[in-house]
Structure 1
Amino acid sequence: MRNPWVKLGTFKSCEKSTGRGLVFLIGMMIFILFFPHGKAMAGSGERDLIPLQPIIDRSAPGDIIHLASGRYSGPVTIDKNITIQGDPTVIVVNEKTTSAITIQSDGVKLSGFTIEHNANELTAAIQVEGAKSEITDLHIQTQGYGMIIRNSSQATIQRNNITWAGSDSASSGQKGNGIDLYNSHDSYIEANEITGMRDGIYLENSRKSTVQNNRLLHTRYGIHCMYIDGSSVMDNTGEENMTGAMIMGVKNTVISGNSFRKQSTNVHSQGILLYDVHQSSIHNNVVEGNRVGMNIAESSGNEIHDNAVLRNFVGIQLVLAEANEFTRNQLVSNVIEASALDSPNNVLMENYWDSFQGLDLNRDGISEISYAINPFYEQLVSRNSAYQLFFQSPGMVFLSDLFTEGREQWTTDKSPRMSMDTGSDLNMSVERPARSNVVWMLGLILLGVATFIIIYMGVLRK
């Protein structure tokens, strides 16, 4: 008679083998379903892309193409005045070493969708060669340029988000610009956000253009303008770029309402650089926490007024600049308030200098004593940059007060203001550290009370 336990053990052994086989079979089915072509899986994304060029080719001039959610393949060329619309789930992917979308016709409109431009050549997600293009609300991730506009006019570029998608270690020279215009006039660039590109917005030989309300982050130059006569750069914000705005070779241009903060990562960092700028108005800007707040070089005939120059290493720097008017600017907490090199005949009037102790006999808010900008610090650091470590130390302040060499040549405000404009952006900026000081003082008081209690309780215990 056979042992029943042997049969049971045999059954259990078969059950285990069957279970293992079933698991193996299920695994094979999953592999076949999800990896049907082995290595071809890596390229299946490309096979799943919807060709966009045939959709464009089938359209007629004036058509509006509404793209359904999905991934579309580029590059494409648009040679008729059509409109292409989508939402962020519509993604145009380009792996080729040409621009993802090239616009050759006038009156083309693009809006709403996403572009992934993965070519590491200096090509663009969008290249515009036609006039009166409208590019709005796009999300662009690029390893080249964001947009290139060439020999065009009346382009409207609004509310786009452009981000560098290449290597984090790429240098500025290996990147493209966010929005790049050349010989493209009467353009309107508004409310775009650009991050990590070489220059955020670059305009060259593009006159009568408007650059307004854009946000530029982590670029070389947030806004870089050359030969844009009759243009305006207004209400833009930039942080942690090498330079906030570099304005070069322009006339009759307005730089107004911009805010450039924390441009200090490079020895040449500055909030606003004006180089070879003439007959222009620079007003109501805020430059805060930069290495140089405003650098005016080889520029003349400009009106520079009502700017807030706050907590920069150098507030205003003049180099070979002459016949400019500086009025009603407010300079607060800059290490070096202003400096001038070979810059004659500039007029400084009614500026506020927080380190100046004036005398207002007639109570009109203007000091009867002029304020001469002492060049001691700048001359000292030009000889040895290590002396920056001792700025505002008691000994350095004492030596600065003794320095009077060439005083008649110092840049001088003939009628400095006694107080800040209470309605300015600068005044609001100053309030923040004031509140921080209150918190700091309260912290010290609480620390003192806690220390007293600890000591007192220790005495009682003894």
Structure 2
Amino acid sequence: MKKFLSAAIILLMILFGQTVYAADGETSLQSLINQTKPGDVLELPPGEYVGGATIDQPIHIKGEKDVSILSDGKGPALAIQTDQAVIENMTFIDQRTPTDETVYINGKNNELKDLTIQTNGVGIQLYEAQNNTLENINITGNQAVTFAERGNGIDLWDSNNNTIQYSNISNVQDGIYLEKSEENAIFNNEVTNSRYGYHLMFTTGTNIQHNYSYFNVSGMMIMGTEGTNVENNHLQYNQKSIQSIGLLLFDVKKAYVAHNTITNNKIGLFVENSTNNEITLNKLKDNYVGTQFLKSTDNNMYQNALLANVVQGQAERSSNNKTNENYWGDHTRLDTNGDGFSNLSYTVDPFYLTLTKEYPPYQIFFQAPGMHFLEQLFNAPTDQWLTDDKPLMVNPLESVTNEQTYSLYVLCFSLFLLFVSTTIIWMGVKKQ
């Protein structure tokens, strides 16, 4: 019923709303907003406008090409304290401190799209805001200062059922930060050159799919959450610190982590203090450490591909995790009964990782014959080893791709045969 009423209100606004055009020489955004009635469209011609404005009624503000909103230095360049407002096609410029918000939202069913934000602080703050949509937002922070002196790109606090999609964020503290929020959707965004690409704290039911995180300290930090869905994300080249991680699951429960590409990070996947998570069909390649478990139990990791990592994996103070049926690029495989699983189990001895953690210079002896001798001489307790009792014979990610390619070839060939057969029959009929 609430959704029906909201749709009805929006329809009435469209039918009866008027278009308001900003007068020449008028530069106060607040003054223009005050002249706009609920349901009206305020069109801004090219130029610079002074912000520090508040929207407290459902209106639509649309900028033409080259519209800039400048902060007045006192508060957010734009504060949205209403429901069902639409803001599109303009640039916000804010040079205040990292704790200041350039755009502030405290309302429901608002839509922000095609915006550019240049900020020293928080690009967009959603505070107790529900069911809002942010689309095609480009946010750039202050590259000249440290991460601690920057604000987050998009920051959600106690905000539920919002959608953030098709946005690009760079040079901020955390690209998209969520805390104490539920059922938010994060789709098709890209974060670069920041501290954490995506940072979840104490959230429930977050859906984070098809996002990119490149050249950050860490790609995706998921902490204190339940029911998080992490699918088809690309977390790559996050190496700005010796502790850089592609994907961290810390104190995470019942997450579904699948089809992610996690490559060229210091640590690919780190699972700590986490339980009952499903981790499958992920590509972990060219990381220093492929996957690492610490004080985690009852997780299920299967059908992942671990390729060309310096250390494929490690488990410490972790028990009852299922780590079978994965593909390990450096495993010597033997399948005597043709069931697709190797008869030889795969075990990761954590000796090298433990040694180089205590004595980093020993990294130069990677794969040296003497290192293998030391592994045999100083074996760690085997209950801390990461073991796969049924390693896959074939990379599951490549096999899926090959099946799809094969199906495409079969379809194309079948269509070709159909075309040839039809042509021959048609030519025969025509000849008669």
Give the TM-score range, shorter chain. 0.7 to 0.9
Aligned length: 378
**Which residue in 2 is equivalent to 1:199?**
174
**Alpha-carbon distance in structure 1 between the residues aligned to 2:58 and 2:294:** 49
**Which residue in 2 is equivalent to 1:92?**
69
Secondary structure at the aligned position of 1:138 is classed as strand
| Native 8 Å contact 2:170 2:193 kept in 1 | yes
Paired amino acid for 2:279: I
Matches within 5 A, 1:56-455: 56-120=33-97, 122-164=99-141, 166=142, 168-400=143-375, 404-421=379-396, 423=398
Q: What TM-score does the superposition give when structure 2 sets the normalisation length?
A: 0.84
Paired amino acid for 1:156: T
Q: What TM-score does the superposition give when structure 1 sets the normalisation length?
A: 0.79
Runs of 4 or more, structure 1, over 6 Å off, are 424-427
| Native 8 Å contact 2:168 2:191 kept in 1 | yes
Flag the 1:49–1:396 CA change in 2: closer, same or farther, 3 A.
Answer: farther
**Alpha-carbon distance in structure 2 between the residues aligned to 1:253 and 1:114:** 33
| Native 8 Å contact 1:49 1:73 kept in 2 | no
How many Å apart are 1:421 and its aligned residue? 2.7
**Alpha-carbon distance in structure 1 between the residues aligned to 2:187 and 2:29:** 33
How many Å apart are 1:169 and its aligned residue? 3.0
Secondary structure at the aligned position of 2:396 is classed as coil
How many Å apart are 1:388 and its aligned residue? 1.5
Secondary structure at the aligned position of 2:246 is classed as strand
Gapped regions of structure 1 (runs ≥ 5): 1-47, 428-462
How many Å apart are 1:396 and its aligned residue? 2.2
Identity between Structure 1 and Structure 2 (%): 35
How many Å apart are 1:399 and its aligned residue? 3.5
**Alpha-carbon distance in structure 2 between the residues aligned to 1:75 and 1:425:** 53
Paired amino acid for 1:423: E
**Alpha-carbon distance in structure 2 between the residues aligned to 1:272 and 1:171:** 22
Secondary structure at the aligned position of 1:160 is classed as strand
**Alpha-carbon distance in structure 2 between the residues aligned to 1:204 and 1:425:** 36
Gapped regions of structure 2 (runs ≥ 5): 1-24, 403-432
Paired amino acid for 2:62: Q
Secondary structure at the aligned position of 1:98 is classed as coil
Paired amino acid for 1:221: Y
**Alpha-carbon distance in structure 2 between the residues aligned to 1:302 and 1:295:** 13
Flag the 1:79–1:349 CA change in 2: closer, same or farther, 3 A.
Answer: same
| Native 8 Å contact 1:240 1:262 kept in 2 | yes
How many Å apart are 1:369 and its aligned residue? 1.4
Flag the 1:320–1:87 CA change in 2: closer, same or farther, 3 A.
Answer: farther
Flag the 1:230–1:254 CA change in 2: closer, same or farther, 3 A.
Answer: same
| Native 8 Å contact 2:312 2:348 kept in 1 | yes
1:4-30 superposed Cα distances (whole Å, 9 cap, x missing partner): xxxxxxxxxxxxxxxxxxxxxxxxxxx
Flag the 1:328–1:99 CA change in 2: closer, same or farther, 3 A.
Answer: same
Paired amino acid for 2:328: W
| Native 8 Å contact 1:270 1:290 kept in 2 | yes
Paired amino acid for 1:184: S
**Which residue in 2 is equivalent to 1:51?**
28
| Native 8 Å contact 2:154 2:176 kept in 1 | yes
- Name the larger-Rg structure: 1
Flag the 1:326–1:263 CA change in 2: closer, same or farther, 3 A.
Answer: same
| Native 8 Å contact 1:308 1:426 kept in 2 | no
**Alpha-carbon distance in structure 2 between the residues aligned to 1:175 and 1:218:** 12
Paired amino acid for 1:266: S
Secondary structure at the aligned position of 1:396 is classed as helix
Richer in helix (by share)? 1
